[in-house]
Amino acid sequence: MMADQKTVLRLLKTARGQIDGIIKMVEEDRYCMDISQQITAADAMLRRANREILTAHLKHCVENAKDDKERVDKIDELVAALGKIL
């Protein structure tokens, strides 16, 4: 992985903490809109981590492909990932 590992790990660990908090909120039968807000925050954190990884893929893996075929394969992988996200 070419993304900054410290950044990605920080984002993922933050999201994990948020999800643990959401689970506790559900167990405590907290207000639904508060739970939804926290789910949105965790989702945003995961999206930021994914953006870091996909950006690194584009900047490093695609840019440094050894030949045109590998470059096309890497771009196709990126397009497929974006198709799932969008």
Over residues 25-48, the pLDDT tens digits come to 999 999 999 999 999 999 999 999
Q: Enter the pTM of the model.
A: 0.83
Strand positions, DSSP E, 1-86: none
DSSP string, 18-86: HHHHHHHHHHTT--HHHHHHHHHHHHHHHHHHHHHHHHHIIIIIITT-SSHHHHHHHHHHHHHHHHHH-
Task: State what percent of residues in the chain have pLDDT above 70.
Answer: 100
Q: Where are the domains of the chain?
A: 5-85
Q: Residue 4 corresponds to which tokens in the numbers above?
A: 């900054």
Structural fold of domain 5-85: Methane Monooxygenase Hydroxylase; Chain G, domain 1 (1.20.58)
DSSP state of 3: S
